Chain A
Amino acid sequence: MSEDREAPALLGAAHTDPPEPQDAEDLFVSVACVTECPEAARLSAEDLSPGSDGHKDPDDPDDPDDLFAEATEEVSLDSPERQPILSDGPSPAITPVTPVTISPRLDVFDRSLDQDDEEEENRDTLDIQISVSDPEKVGDGMNAFMVYKVTTKTSLSIFSRDEVCVKRRFSDFLGLHSKLASKYMHMGFIVPPAPEKSIVGMTKVKVGKEDLSSVEFVEKRRSALERYLLRTVKHPALLKDPDVLQFLESSELPRAVSTQALSGAGILRMVNKAADAVNKMTIKMNESDAWFEEKQQQFENLDVQLRKLHASVESLVCHRKELSVNTAAFAKSAAMLGNSEDHTALSRALSQLAEVEEKIDQLHQEQANADFYLISELLGDYVRLITAVRGVFDQRMKTWGKWQDAQLMLQRKREAEAKLQYASKPEKLQQARDEIREWEGKVQQGERDFEQISRNIRREVGQFEKERVKDFRVVIMKYLESLVHSQQQLIKYWEAFLPEAKAIA
């Protein structure tokens, strides 16, 4: 795994050829554009079609198809960006691999199969426990924020201590996700999405309302943050990432300033547009591997199904809460009836009845929590995870696009060289030949990148599907445990009530 991280450094440091005049610089510009701008990727797709000679300036800010035009800053998101938001600020991690890969290729992304198996095994026996707890409000009014205690207990050697406690706020989590996404998504790794930001929920908390809904909100968020961290460390690459380690261990964390991200609605628009753009590209992409097409379709279907399930469960939770309210009201009315009753034994039985109903109300509330925290949140998490998975498929498309662009460029250079053969400009001819060599290198790199990301995705998806089954199984068992517990409690209550009813004389 360490090899992966070293690679970018090497690439960065080993940048060899000095920029050559004129054409070469143009080369760099266009390379940079190709890799950083989705619009350029789309343009390349257009360029690929024969006969097109549309040359739009990739940097045109008024480009109507700018995918980011509508994205607004502000709230963080639950889905990985198509264009990962690169984090600013100091980070011990090596800067992400963006482009300029002209240097000789390095077999850094190739991994042996053995390593894969070993890591998969390690996932199962991962000895690390993370808990997020003790939410504390810091500050007042609209500047207030919640701080959570993150406790990590582990025997893994990459951690400096057995047990670490740090304090983190929500934006710290978002910052972590942003860094991880920018580092790993383009390699095809499925980076677990961070929990959603919620303006309404937080405002209530900030304003200081100590009511039930703010308490529930904080608890929901705490639980979500915990699940987020657990999912993140389950991934072997992410577990060893210095940003993750710093997050879990450092007492002081530099404030994540660029958690400017896209609002939920903005993200949705962007993802949809991106999907459209990708679709245009897909038409051109010769998918040599049916696996990817099938998987993509599967995930699309799964997305729809999970959203439906999520809605169903929300309805269930709602009714359960309503039942709790009604049970409490009935308990009160039964108590009043008991009070009005003259006959002593009957009166006592009715009061007991009221107590039993109150206890049952408690059970309903607990069950509603189980419904929600176990099933509903699980489904919500997976809806978001699926979006991350689809993002990774998109990345592969992009990588493919890069490769194709490189091929096209190479072809052009070759054509240019062929023309120069008959002109008597030996320096230009030499330059052309040099460029051809460069682009041949890029083509090779592009192909390798594409193959690498394809391999990574296959592995990631396989792992994801295994985890998914495990997650769901765990939830089902926990849910059944809660059901069994409720019923056993009920049995106790009814057995206690029966003699009271029989004692009415």
Chain B
Amino acid sequence: MEGSSAEAALSVSANSIRITDVTQDGDVLTFAIASQKLNSSAGVCVFRMYEDFDWLQQSLFSEENLPGLQGIIFPPLPSKALPSQSNTQTKALKQLGFLALGQDWQSYCKALEFYLQQVAAHPTLCKCKALDSFLINSESPGKQRGRKGIFNRLSQAVEEMRKESHKDVDNFFQNERNKNTNLAASSKVATEKLLDVVMTEQKLAVACGHFATSLHLCVNQDDAAAVAFSKVCLKLSDVIEAVKRNYEKVASNNLSTLGLGLDLESRYQESEKEMLFRRTCKLIELETVKKGTEKAKANKREVMEAFQKAVEKEFNLISSVAKQEIERFHSSRVKVLKTFLIGWCELQLNTAKEFAELYSQHLEACRNMYSE
């Protein structure tokens, strides 16, 4: 990681990366990505599709000349969105969770934006040519098929599960694996539960809308009594409309802050899990090789020993990268969660104040009207 890399540093500022627009054409989403050049005030804008993001991720996975690559906690890329009409909301929710909500793919774009920012901010990954090319080249790189990443997602195969629980030789890592297992599970559950809450808030808003509309239908101008009653119904309708907007706001606040935050946290924990798994697999490989070496016949022994040394070196390199990554991950995720929590609280506080004011005004108006 140090020194030997001939990769150039990223030519744009990590913080300036933004997804400024998204357009949908049938099944395909196209994202406009803007960033700021480091050495000048010039900005760059490119257009990318999901395939391009995927290409980027795969390129990162298969980066050469990065020793200990397997020890890196890769920023998680959101799943591909399938916006076709046949895809019902339930399917989309299952696939993307929170990222499927929000208007015009806002949450999804935000998540992709985070992804790019995190890759660009990563001390090692930022040097990858693929990233620079992704952000700057007007031509879309995604056409280049080819290098598939060497990493696969954790499959559910029984063998994998067995490997996952393989005892570690290092207490630090054993602890980390345990913590990660807990956190990954809890954050996933919390994300799902919050998603339920947001969905219900949206349903409640819709129900309020129906009720408010029905109240409007009660208007009747036949005589004085009917007019008086109609006014009352209209007033109630206004109040219920306000309640509807209230819930829409609350849901949107939940979505854009805590929802995104928990979603990101949950996916990042998964990413760490994958990294730890890779290391564990390497550990198992090492132990297997060691055993093999011990049992090896004299003529093969030297070869085996050399091989074992290589594996050991790899493993140690992975472990040392992993350690750094873990520490970096811990401190950054706390910061990220803090930002989301503060943002969430501030938005909800403002909304509560706004509507407290609105309801009070309605109440005051009613009191004045009705005391006559």
- The interface of chain A, by Cβ under 8 A from chain B, is 294, 298, 301-302, 305, 308-309, 312-313, 315-316, 319-320, 322-323, 326-327, 329-330, 332-334, 336-337, 339-343, 345-346, 349, 353, 375, 462, 465-466, 468-469, 472-473, 476-477, 479-481, 483-484, 487-488, 490-491, 494-495, 497-498, 501-502, 504
CB of A319 within 8 A of CB of B193, answer no
CB neighbours of B239 from chain A (8 A): 476, 479-480, 483
0/1 interface trace, chain B 335-347, chain A, CB 8 Å (1 if under): 0011001101110
Interface string of B12-26 (1 = CB under 8 A from A): 000000000000000
B233 interface hit (Cβ, 8 Å) = yes
Q: Kindly list chain A residues whose C-beta atoms are within 8 Å of the C-beta of B217.
A: 305, 308
A465 CA to B201 CA, complexed, in Å: 36
Residue among A316, A349, A476, A504 having the largest count of chain B Cβ atoms under 10 Å? A476
List 7 A-B pairs, minimum CB-CB distance, nearest first: A487-B356, A465-B225, A494-B349, A330-B193, A312-B211, A504-B338, A490-B352
With a cutoff of 8 Å between Cβ atoms, the chain A residues found around residue B197 in the complex are 323, 326-327, 330
B204 A472 Cβ-Cβ under 8 A: no
| Set B222, B359, B366: member contacting A487, Cβ < 8 A | B359
Is B117 among interface residues, defined by CB-CB distance under 8 A? no
Min CB distance, B189 to chain A, in Å?
5
In the complex, B317 has a CB within 8 A of chain A: no
Given the contacts A342-B179, A468-B229, A498 and B208 also touching, CB distance less than 8 Å: no
The answer to whether A319 touches B203, judged by C-beta atoms less than 8 angstroms apart, is yes
Contacting residues, chain A, for B334 (C-beta < 8 A): 343, 345-346, 504
Cβ–Cβ contact A309 & B211, under 8 A: yes
- Asked if A305 and B218 make an inter-chain contact with CB atoms under 8 angstroms apart, the answer reads yes
Determine if A494 and B196 form an interchain contact, defined as CB atoms under 8 angstroms apart: no
Closest residue of chain A to B180, judged by CB? A340
Indicate if the CB atoms of B229 and A472 lie closer than 8 Å. yes
Cα distance A330–B235 in the bound complex, in angstroms: 34
- A322 to B344 Cα, complex, angstroms: 22
Q: State the CA gap A182–B196 with chains docked (Å).
A: 53
Smallest distance from the beta carbon of B280 to chain A beta carbons, Å? 20
Q: Cβ of B200 < 8 Å from any Cβ of A?
A: yes
Query: Does the CB pair A349–B341 fall under 8 Å?
Result: yes
Q: Please, could you name 6 A-B residue pairs with CB atoms under 8 Å apart, sorted by A?
A: A298-B220, A336-B190, A340-B179, A472-B236, A498-B349, A501-B341
- Chain A residue contacts of B162, Cβ below 8 A: none
Which residues of B lie under 8 Å from residue A312 when comparing CB positions? 207, 210-211, 214
Q: Are A476 and B222 in contact, CB atoms less than 8 angstroms apart?
A: no
Instruction: Report if A320-B337 is in contact (Cβ < 8 Å); known contacts: A487-B352, A494-B352, A502-B342.
Output: no
Q: Is the CB of B200 within 8 A of A315?
A: no
B155 to chain A, nearest CB (A): 25
Smallest beta-carbon distance A289→chain B, Å = 14
Of the candidates B196, B349, B360, the one whose C-beta lies within 8 Å of that of A329 is B196
Question: Across the interface, which residues of A come within 8 angstroms of B356, CB to CB?
Answer: 484, 487-488, 490-491
Among B218, B337, B349, B359, contact of A346 (Cβ-Cβ < 8 Å): B337
B122 at the A/B interface (Cβ < 8 Å)? no
**A337/B370 in contact, CB under 8 A:** no
Do B338 and A476 touch (CB < 8 A)? no
Is there an interface contact between B232 and A476, defined as CB atoms closer than 8 Å? yes
Residues of B in contact (CB 8 Å), total 59
B77 at the interface (CB under 8 A from A): no
Asked whether B297 is an interface residue with its Cβ less than 8 Å from the other chain, the reply is no
Q: Mark B90-120, 1 if CB is under 8 A from A, else 0.
A: 0000000000000000000000000000000
**Which B residues from 109 to 167 make CB contacts under 8 A with A?**
none
With A323-B197, A477-B370, A494-B345 given, name 8 new contacts (CB 8 A). Answer: A298-B222, A329-B193, A330-B196, A342-B179, A349-B341, A476-B366, A490-B356, A501-B338
CB distance from B133 to the nearest CB of A (A): 37
Chain B residues positioned under 8 Å from A308 (CB to CB): 214, 217
Cross-chain contact A319 with B204 (CB below 8 angstroms): yes
Given A323-B204, A334-B190, A481-B363, A476 contacting B236 (CB threshold 8 A): yes
Q: Mark interface residues in B238-264 (1 if CB within 8 Å of A CB, else 0).
A: 010001000000000000000000000
Check if A484 sits within 8 Å of B359, measured CB to CB.
yes
List chain B residues, Cβ under 8 A from A341: 183
- A302 to chain B minimum Cβ distance, whole angstroms, is 8
Q: Cβ of B355 and Cβ of A487 under 8 Å apart?
A: yes
What is the distance, in angstroms, from A385's C-beta to the closest C-beta of chain B? 13
Given contacts A298-B220, A309-B214, A330-B196, contact A483 B359 (CB under 8 A): yes
Q: Which residues of A contact B190 (CB under 8 A)?
A: 330, 333-334, 336-337
Tell me, yes or no, whether B300 is within 8 Å of chain A by CB.
Answer: no
Q: Does B82 contact A (CB under 8 A)?
A: no
Interchain CA distance A245-B294 in the complex, whole Å: 103
Q: Assess the B330–A469 pair: CB atoms within 8 A.
A: no
A479 to B242, CA, bound (A): 13
Residue contact B210 to A504, C-beta cutoff 8 Å? no
Interface pair A490/B348, CB less than 8 Å apart: yes
Q: With a CB–CB cut-off of 8 A, which chain A residues contact B233? A: 472
A323-B218 in contact (CB<8A): no
- State the CA gap A481–B239 with chains docked (Å): 11
User: B236 to chain A: which residues have CB within 8 Å?
Assistant: 375, 472, 476, 479
Bound Cα distance A253, B245 (Å): 52
**Interface contact A330-B194, CB-CB below 8 Å:** yes
Chain A minimum-CB-distance residue to B194: A330
B200–A476 touching, CB < 8 Å: no
CB-CB nearest in chain A for B352: A490
Find B366's partner among A375, A462, A480, A491 (CB 8 Å cutoff): A480
A346 to B338, CA, bound (A): 8
B186 at the interface (CB under 8 A from A): yes
List residues of chain B with CB within 8 A of the CB of A487: 352-353, 355-356, 359
A465 touches B353 (CB 8 A): no
Chain B residue nearest to A319 in the complex (CB): B204
Q: Are A477 and B359 in touch, CB under 8 angstroms?
A: no
Contacts of B186 in A (CB 8 A): 333, 336-337, 339-340
B176 to chain A, nearest CB (A): 10
Chain A neighbourhood of B222, CB < 8 A: 294, 298
Q: Is B207 touching A316 in the complex (CB atoms < 8 A)? A: yes
Q: How far is the CA of A227 from the CA of B311 in the complex (A)?
A: 82
- B225 engages A501 (CB within 8 Å): no
Given A476-B366, A490-B348, residue A343 in contact with residue B330 (CB < 8 A): yes
